[in-house]
Amino acid sequence: MELTKLKGITEKRAKELRKLGCDDAASLLRIFPRAYLDMTARIPVREVFHNDAALIACTLTGVEPVRYTGGKRKFVRAWLEQDGFVFSAVWFNMPYLAGRLKEGEYLFYGRVQNRYGQVSLVNPSFEPIERNKRLKGLVPVYPLKGVLTQRIVRDAVGSALAAVPVVSVIPEAMQRKYGLSSLAEAYRHVHCPSTHAEASAAAERIALEEYFVLLSAFKIVKGDRTEARVNRYTVTERQVARFEKRFPFAFTAGQQAAVRAVYDNLTSPFRMNRLLQGDVGSGKTAVALTAIDMAVESGYQAAYLSPTEALAAQNDAILRRTFPDRRVGYLSGSATAAEKRELKAALARGEIDILGGTHAILQGDVKFARLALCVCDEQHRFGVAQRNLLSEKGDSPDVLVMSATPIPRTLSLVFYGDLDVTTIPDKPKARQEISTSIIPERKYNDMLAYIARETAAGKQAYFVCAKIDDDEGEVTSVTELYDELRMRLPNVRFALLHGRMRERDKTEVMAAFKRGEYDCLVSTTVIEVGIDVPAATIMVIVNAERYGLSQLHQLRGRVGRGSDKSYCFLLVGADSETARARLDVLRSTTDGFALAEKDLELRGSGDFLGTRQSGKFLTDIKNLHYSTDVIFRAKRLVDEAFAQGLVTDGIRAVALRRYESLKDVVLN
């Protein structure tokens, strides 16, 4: 059903909804809530902890005229009163609210700030008490893009729930045998829950369905994969051993095992499609370079794909340093048209042995003469789409993808169902120790003063926020923090970086930061993959409780790359025992795999897998919260369904269609 067939959705609104990946009415149902606002209890504002979200009943006594911050952002401030206590509410970049807010009794929902002796709500939602329709019960919070608001998406999803039929693909006999609840009911409850328990049960039922489809597709794809090797590698084990001696260090046992797995695969009768995973610093790049040498020694070309221009440039330098006797090319979006034409022509003539670059390598006019090996760096930034496009550049080339984000061993074969998995279990090589601390609110000013002293001495710092902006006032946004820090520390040079910036602008900011033109970089998690900045010794992660341990570990790894001692400061918005207990785990270990296993135990697979951007299928369900057991229940159902011949042509078609939909995704 087309989006415009739904009640209240015009062609203009449908265009905005398509930015969320909603191409039809059914896809609206798959925009799952990323959280729920709990409107079941009103709280006295003086009892709310700093940075906690709360529902506040109060009196609006006045509204100030629209003003501007130091960064030229407009803001509106309203004055509120509750039982004689006066506080304020502030909205950024919403000047129209100044004319909408009138004196009277209101309900406000938002994040409470308690700094410098003043209490305020940041970007709160609000409703007059006498006609409140939104701020009650459990209210879903959806991901947004463009000009979409929560109200628009909620209304659109509500229309889809009323119009779209939902049917399970799990065989009916198995649904009855295992007492599975209605899938249609689960969709209603995940979007409009009465209780948290109801939302949780619904999420698990939907996740079970999704993984049944995904694992069925992987089983079909792997079962049908009989692709014989086309490219014949002639490299010998002696040549591989000789290449390893180029490195200024001896390969660890894990690296040696990984090289052996790759060599055995490349000299086997079947094409390689392999994931190489390991912690930061475990030596994955050296293994990938060895694989590239196997290809070029056999007379073939190799491609090395990186997700960002900054990382691509860094990898290009590594390739040229490692292969001084080979012809290395570099293709990126920032190259001039003439440079690209010359490089592509040389590549097509076979005059380039190794091509490095960004997504520009995937363009249709990039032709290889004899491509045999494709390496994708930082797998979690690429989806199946990019891997397939790169594979089409040659005659059935081998594919090696790498990830520095450890996946729990119990899940890797499920999560990467279309890949063979090789893990380097060795701990990373010795690097500067990073001291990790949880910073309470009372120490916030002391931390800023310390950073001001360190930057004055030539050190650099990162500030990382979970979001670019915050429509519901739940967390500190990167733009909000950037404005605040510039006012608080006027002598410190700040740069802003986030995913909505153009790739070229992001690269320029990162390069300028590396050159020391900025003291602090205020960023979203786009720096999770980036260039090395040895002078960066401080990592500040705002609202650290919103991240998984594995992602916190990756962000922490941005510092400690020089000779000076480095620090990671965790700012906790929700000051809860659970959040602190989880972050204490991060303080206690630097083992990425141990943290991944603990993350899985504490947060569940819904949160854990949600940090991997590996295709539309998994990004669709990343906001569902469910236990690890759901994945393995789905695997048991799939195995039983195939064993008993219950997988019909219809189920196969749905599974393969969903798998193919991954190819439609191009990630940032």
- pLDDT single digits (tens) 148-171: 888 899 999 999 999 999 999 999
Q: Where are the beta strands (DSSP E) in 552-645?
A: 566-571
- Is-contact 2 28, C-beta < 8 A? no
Enumerate the domain spans of the chain: 41-135, 237-270+282-403, 434-589
369, burial (CB in 10 Å: exposed 0-12, middle 13-18, buried 19+): middle
Q: Which two tokens stand for residue 364?
A: 């249709």
Classified by CATH at the fold level, domain 237-270+282-403 comes out as Rossmann fold (3.40.50)
| Residue 659 pLDDT grade (very low, low, confident, very high; cuts 50, 70, 90) | low
| Joined tokens for residue 85 | 């206590």
Secondary-structure percent of the chain, ordered helix, strand, coil, rounded to 5:
45, 20, 35
Q: What is the pLDDT of residue 609?
A: 46
pLDDT higher than threshold 50 for residue 251: yes
pLDDT at position 544 over 70: yes
pTM for the whole structure:
0.63
Q: Mean of the pLDDT values across residues 176-198?
A: 94
Radius of gyration over alpha carbons of the chain, in Å? 26
How far is Cα 349 from Cα 337, in angstroms, rounded to an integer?
Answer: 18
Rounded average pLDDT over 358-370: 89
Strands (E), 241-283: 273-278
Mean pLDDT of the chain: 84
Q: How far is CA 214 from CA 141, 175, 210, 276, 656, in A?
A: 26, 17, 6, 22, 9
Provide the pLDDT confidence category of residue 466 given band limits of 50, 70 and 90: confident
Which of these ranges, 330-344, 362-376, 466-480, has the smallest mean pLDDT? 466-480
What mean pLDDT is predicted for residues 298-309? 91
User: What residue has token string 């608080």?
Assistant: 488
Mean pLDDT for the stretch of residues 494-507: 87
**Under CATH, which number does the domain 434-589 receive?**
3.40.50.300
Say which CATH architecture domain 41-135 belongs to. Answer: Beta Barrel (2.40)
pLDDT above 60 (res 211) = yes
Sheet holding 273-278, edge to edge: 328-331, 354-357, 301-305, 371-376, 398-403, 273-278, 420-424
Q: State residue 163 phi and psi, 5-degree precision.
A: -115, -20
Say what the pLDDT of residue 130 is: 85
State the maximum Cα–Cα separation within the chain, in Å, rounded to a whole number: 83
At 348, is the secondary structure helix, strand, or coil? Answer: helix
Most confident of 359-363, 392-396, 466-470, 492-496: 492-496
**Same fold: 41-135 with 434-589:** no
Q: Which residue has the tokens 């930057």?
A: 455
